[in-house]
């Protein structure tokens, strides 16, 4: 983690870094999945920071791996956004009870995502087992022929 001085990136670079396309990034902005890049005059280029690249990487990962619509994904990520908000609040309070409460919510959001991931994993595991069973079966028959 080098202390990259907050470089500002253009949409094409961000697309490359995140494995998407400029069109996809604009579309996500259009539907509110990404915030509109700050105070841009009509026709001027969009400018992104590393933080936004991270956000898009996370969106893409969840989009590809869980089977959610962008609307469902949006709700899940609102939770993420809420977490970021909470972290800001967190830094502004010294009260341990308040800090614990904020961290508790954090845990809940992570838990929601973990559950979705685990459900998917279970389905994939089942598919893998089925395929391996077939594989074993074919191999056994092959071995019988060879004997």
Partner DNA sequence: TTGCTCCTCACGTCACGTGAGGTGGC
Query: By the criterion CB under 7 A, which residues form the site for DNA?
Result: 10-13, 21-24, 26-28, 31, 42-46, 63, 69-71
Q: Find the shortest distance in angstroms from Cβ 43 to a copy of itself.
A: 35
**Pattern 4-33, binding to a copy of itself, x per CB under 8 A?**
------------------------------
| Distance of alpha carbon 37 from alpha carbon 48, whole angstroms | 7
By C-beta, is 52 or 102 nearer to DNA? 52
- Smaller CB separation from DNA, 23 or 126: 23
15 within 8 A of 9, measured Cβ to Cβ: no
Query: For residues 72 and 67, what is the distance between their CA atoms, to the nearest angstrom?
Result: 9
Residues paired with residue 48 on neighbouring β-strands, in sequence order: 9
- Residue 82 makes contact with a copy of itself by CB under 8 A: no
Say if CB 9 and CB 47 are below 8 A apart.
yes
């Amino acid at each position: 983690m080098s202390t990259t001085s907050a470089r500002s990136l253009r949409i094409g670079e961000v697309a490359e870094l995140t494995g998407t396309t400029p069109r996809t990034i604009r579309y996500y902005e259009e539907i509110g999945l990404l915030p509109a890049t700050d105070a841009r005059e009509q026709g001027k280029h969009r400018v992104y920071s590393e933080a936004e690249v991270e956000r898009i990487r996370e969106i893409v990962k969840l989009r590809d791996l869980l089977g959610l619509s962008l609307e469902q994904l949006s709700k899940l990520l609102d939770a993420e956004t809420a977490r970021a908000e909470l972290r800001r609040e967190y830094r502004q309070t010294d009260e341990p009870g308040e800090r614990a409460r904020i961290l508790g919510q954090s845990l809940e959001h992570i838990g929601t995502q973990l559950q979705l991931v685990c459900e998917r994993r279970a389905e994939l595991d089942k598919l893998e087992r089925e395929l391996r069973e077939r594989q074993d079966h074919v191999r056994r028959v092959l071995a019988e022929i060879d004997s």
